[in-house]
DNA sequence: GCCGTTTATGACCGCTCGTTCAACAACTTC
DNA sequence: GAAGTTGTTGAACGAGCGGTCATAAACGGC
C-alpha cells in the first residue's frame, strides 16, 4: 500500500560497497555513491539513513558473506590442515590487490576514529579467530599440525600475517608473493 | 639576508606528523595542522608547499628515522636471531596501539590513490626487506635459524606479520598480544 | 476515482575544505 | 636609513561536501 522501490536494495548496497572499497570512506562522496548506485540523493537518504549508516550496512553485509565462506571451507573438512591452506589461498586471492581487503582497509582507516566500525570489525576478527583456532585444534588432534603452540595464538598469527600481506599488497598492481608460495610457506612453518 | 623563520622547520614537521598520524590524511585539515604546528596558513604554504607535499615530507622523515633505527639494531649484532627478536619487539612496541604504525596507515589509506605515496612506501618496504633478509642470512649461516627457507621469503613473512599485527591493533585500546609473546612465537616458528 | 502512504526527484542549504593574496613586519646589505 | 628580500598575517575565494525538503509520482484500499 504505497509506491514500491524502483531499485533493489541489495544491488544498490553492493554498488555502494564497491565504491567505498575503491576510494575509502572519506574519499567517497554522496555524488559518487548515487552515481554508482543509480539512485538520487533523496532515495539514498530515505533508504539507508546517512553516509555512515550506509557504510555500516555495506560493511556488515561484506563481513557476513566472508564469515559464511570461511566456515564453509573449514568446518567439516576431512583434513583441517589442507582446509586451512586452501582457505588461506582463497583469502589472499579473493581480494584484488589494488583494492586490498575491505575489512583491513576499514580496520586501519576507520576503527580508531569510529566506535561503531571498531565494534563491528573487532567482533568480526574475534569470530574469525575462533573459527581458525578450532580448525587448528582439529589439525593438532589429527597430528597434522605441531601441537606445541596454543591454537588461539596460532590463529592470531595466521590472521595477522594474512592482514599484513593484504595491507602490503595495496601499493602494487601485482602481487609479488604468489598465493601458493605464501600459504605453502606458512604451512611449512606451522606444519608438524 | 632577509627575515628569518620564526619557527623550527623540523619541530613543525614533527607536529604535522603527529597530526597526520592521529587523524589520517583525509581526516586532517589545514586548520588542524596550523594549530598543531603553531603557525599560520600562509607560513605553512610558504614553507612546505601544500598539504600533500607536507605529508610527503613528514612521511619521508618518519621512514628515514625508522630505517636508521632498524639498521642500528640489526647490523653488526653479535647474534642475528636475538637482534631480530629484539627488533620485532621494539617495532611492535614502538607504535602506540591506537595510532598504529604510520607507515602501515599510509600504505593502506593512501598508496592505492596516490602514486607519490605508493612510490615512497614501496621503496621503503623493499629496503626493509633487504635489511631483514640480510639479518636472516647471517642467522642461518650461524646456525641460529632454520636454513630451509629463502631469506627473502622469510623477511617478507616477518614484515607481513608485523604489519598485520599493527593493523589489527588499531581497533583496540590495548594490545591483546603481548609483544614478548608475539615475537617469541615468531622466533619459535622460524628458529632452528 | 479518490485518499493515504511511501518513494523519487533535484534544487537548495550552511558549512568546511584547501588554497591564494595583498598588506605588513623583520632582517641584511650598502 | 633606504633598498631589497623573505617571512608572517588573516581575510577572502571558489569548490565541493553531507544533508534537507517541497513537490511530483506511483502504488493499494475502499
Instruction: Convert the pLDDT of each residue in B5-60 to its tens digit.
Output: 999 999 999 999 999 999 999 999 999 999 999 999 999 999 999 999 999 999 99
DSSP for B134-176 reads HHHHHHHHTTSB-SSS-HHHHHHHHHHHHHHHHHHGGGSSS-S
pLDDT of amino acid B121: 96
The residues on B that touch A, with CB distances below 8 Å, are 23-24, 26-27, 98-100, 104-105, 107-109, 111-113, 118, 121-122, 125, 148-149, 153, 156-157, 159-165, 167-168, 170-172, 177, 181-182, 185-186, 188-190
Is there contact between A42 and strand D, defined as CB under 7 Å from any strand atom? yes
Q: What is the pLDDT of residues A57-110, one digit of tens each?
A: 999 999 999 999 999 999 989 999 999 989 988 888 878 777 889 999 999 999
- A172 pLDDT higher than 80: no
- How large is the average pLDDT for residues B142-168? 89
Quickly count: other Cβ atoms within 10 Å of residue B135's Cβ: 26
pLDDT of amino acid B124: 96
pLDDT of amino acid B58: 98
How distant is the Cα of B93 from the closest Cα of chain A, in angstroms? 16
| pLDDT range class, residue B146, cuts 50, 70, 90 | confident
Instruction: List all residues 6 or more positions away from B39 whose beta carbon is below 8 Å from its beta carbon.
Output: B7, B12, B47
Is there contact between A173 and strand D, defined as CB under 7 Å from any strand atom? no
- Is there a contact between A171 and B122 if contact means CB atoms under 8 Å apart? yes
Q: Nearest chain B residue to A113 by CA: give it.
A: B23
| pLDDT range class, residue B190, cuts 50, 70, 90 | low
* Residue A149 and residue A132 in contact, taking contact as beta carbons nearer than 8 Å: no
Is there contact between A2 and strand D, defined as CB under 7 Å from any strand atom? yes
Strand, helix or coil for residue B189: helix
pLDDT of amino acid A174: 52
Span of A83-87, A182-186, B88-92, B120-124 with lowest mean pLDDT: A182-186
Rounded Cα distance between A50 and A55, Å, is 9
- How large is the average pLDDT for residues B136-162? 89
pLDDT of amino acid B175: 55
| pLDDT range class, residue B188, cuts 50, 70, 90 | low
* Beta strand extents in chain A (DSSP E only): none
* Residue A88 and residue A186 in contact, taking contact as beta carbons nearer than 8 Å: yes
- B90 pLDDT higher than 90: no
| pLDDT range class, residue B189, cuts 50, 70, 90 | low
By percentage, how much of chain B surpasses pLDDT 90?
Answer: 67
Q: What is the pLDDT of residues A8-43, one digit of tens each?
A: 999 999 999 999 999 999 999 999 999 999 999 999
Position of cell 575462533? A130
How distant is the Cα of B112 from the closest Cα of chain A, in angstroms? 6
- How large is the average pLDDT for residues B125-133? 95
B167, B174, B184, B188, best to mutate vs chain A, most A CBs in 10 Å? B167
Side-chain-side CA neighbours of B27 within 13 Å: the count stands at 18
Strand, helix or coil for residue A171: coil
Is there contact between B47 and strand D, defined as CB under 7 Å from any strand atom? yes
- A173 pLDDT higher than 60: no
Rounded Cα distance between A27 and A4, Å, is 32
pLDDT of amino acid B75: 93
- Is there a contact between A108 and B104 if contact means CB atoms under 8 Å apart? yes
Nucleotides, chain D, CB distance < 7 Å: 4-12, 16-22, 25-29
Per the prediction, chain B carries an average pLDDT of 89
Rounded Cα distance between B38 and B47, Å, is 13
- Is there a contact between A157 and B189 if contact means CB atoms under 8 Å apart? yes
pLDDT of amino acid A2: 82
Span of A63-77, A106-120, A155-169, B107-121 with lowest mean pLDDT: A155-169
Rounded Cα distance between B146 and B166, Å, is 26
The residue count for chain A: 192
Q: Nearest chain B residue to A191 by CA: give it.
A: B189
DSSP for B88-110 reads HHHHHHHS-TTT--HHHHHHHHT
pLDDT of amino acid B70: 96
pLDDT of amino acid B153: 86
Amino acid at each position: 500500500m504505497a509506491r514500491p522501490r524502483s531499485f533493489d536494495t541489495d544491488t544498490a548496497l553492493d554498488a555502494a560497497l564497491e565504491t567505498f572499497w575503491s576510494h575509502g570512506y572519506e574519499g567517497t562522496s554522496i555524488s559518487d555513491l548515487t552515481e554508482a548506485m543509480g539512485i538520487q540523493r533523496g532515495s539514498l537518504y530515505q533508504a539507508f539513513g546517512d553516509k555512515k549508516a550506509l557504510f555500516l550496512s555495506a560493511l556488515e553485509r561484506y563481513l557476513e558473506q566472508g564469515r559464511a565462506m570461511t566456515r564453509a571451507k573449514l568446518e567439516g573438512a576431512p583434513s583441517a590442515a589442507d582446509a586451512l591452506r586452501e582457505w588461506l589461498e582463497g583469502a589472499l586471492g579473493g581480494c584484488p590487490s589494488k583494492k586490498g581487503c575491505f575489512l583491513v582497509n576499514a580496520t586501519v582507516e576507520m576503527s580508531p576514529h569510529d566506535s561503531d566500525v571498531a565494534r563491528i570489525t573487532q567482533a568480526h576478527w574475534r569470530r574469525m579467530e575462533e573459527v581458525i583456532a578450532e580448525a587448528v585444534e582439529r589439525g593438532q588432534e589429527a597430528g597434522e599440525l605441531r601441537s606445541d603452540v596454543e591454537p588461539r595464538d596460532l590463529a592470531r598469527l595466521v590472521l595477522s600475517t594474512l592482514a599484513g600481506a593484504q595491507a602490503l599488497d595495496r601499493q602494487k598492481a601485482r602481487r609479488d608473493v604468489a598465493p601458493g608460495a605464501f600459504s605453502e610457506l606458512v604451512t611449512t612453518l606451522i606444519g608438524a
